Structure 1
């Protein structure tokens, strides 16, 4: 009965949200299940009902965040782009928007550097890039992009988006505040590379 009450009050989602914030602000090694419980106002034993250890909790956060990004990219792929944008540019713009609107998630997914947890992130990062590359390649073929057969183009685009997010995320700027710069950036990523070499 008591366990059921704890389950209703302290959901997995609530634990994950608090832990995500603490992982970013204090680092993976800087927190424990006990400190997460204290932050939530519960004993750490309540957390073990949902997660058997800190590593499992961290991995659950990583998987959930990458699933959200994957779903977003798949939805973008199904709809027409905004006026003045190609489908490739729209995809990159939505990726940047995700990073800036969900800074804690993005930092967990791509920016933590603790050796103990890199393995958890690397496999999900690889899956995410493979999904991005697959969608971009199909768009580039549709758009008859001059560099559609360039094997390094999707990676260059991906790294360009990540660099943009990494730069602006530090200032906690909203997407709307830097939207014009984001649009200009994805246009350069999409077109600048072949204009420079042509």
Structure 2
């Protein structure tokens, strides 16, 4: 049996990503090395190189995986919707809050990385996610309730409000179940105020 096959059986790409995600969030990108990630997994650092060329490639794989997961959840919701209305917007906003709070390490890598060098890995995927959200917001208010300027800024205003809610809750280790009713009120408040103009 070749060495590659043995390593694949012992240490899967998914297991590496799962462990590395937690390590990147808790220890920080700069302090980690491929050796320290491998040590946390109980393997030699050489085992990681079968899957990833370097630490940057490993980090980028996390970003892509996490955004693809969020985007697929949003697309499923949109595909089930019969029309693009305020209820769909509320549902997507709540799903975003749920995603962030149920996957705090994913969320922090996707949206809360402070290092400018690392943000470049997530910009494209963030833009795709934001464009999908903006499309829903614009679809809901396409009837002329908002000015063109508001149609551009509203998705950003809503996102920042949701991001603040999620980041605060993650910081204080709150679960989605603990704040679900508050999240629903928050989303209702935002949508009600948009509709009121």
| TM-score clears 0.5 | yes
Count of residue correspondences: 191
In structure 2, runs of 5+ residues without a counterpart are none
Give every structure 1 segment of 4 or more consecutive aligned residues whose post-TM-superposition deviation is greater than 4 Å.
Answer: none
Match of residue 26 from structure 1: 27
Give, in whole Å, the separation in 1 of the partners of 2:17 and 2:137. 31
Give the secondary structure class of the aligned counterpart of 1:86: helix
- Where does 1:52-63 land on structure 2 (aligned, <5 Å)? 52-63=53-64
Task: Please say if 1:11 is aligned against 2:16.
Answer: no
Deviation at 1:148, TM superposition (A): 7.6
Q: 1:178 to 1:108 in 2, by over 3 A?
A: same
Give, in whole Å, the separation in 2 of the partners of 1:87 and 1:174. 23
Match of residue 94 from structure 1: 95
Give, in whole Å, the separation in 1 of the partners of 2:138 and 2:147. 7
Q: Is the 8 A contact 2:137 2:154 kept in 1?
A: no
Deviation at 1:123, TM superposition (A): 2.2
Match of residue 68 from structure 1: 69
Give, in whole Å, the separation in 2 of the partners of 1:130 and 1:2. 43
Give, in whole Å, the separation in 2 of the partners of 1:100 and 1:169. 6
* Per-residue deviation, residues 112-148 of structure 1 (Å, max 9, x unmatched): 101221111222212211121113322344xx58338
In structure 1, runs of 5+ residues without a counterpart are none
Task: Please say if 1:51 is aligned against 2:52.
Answer: yes
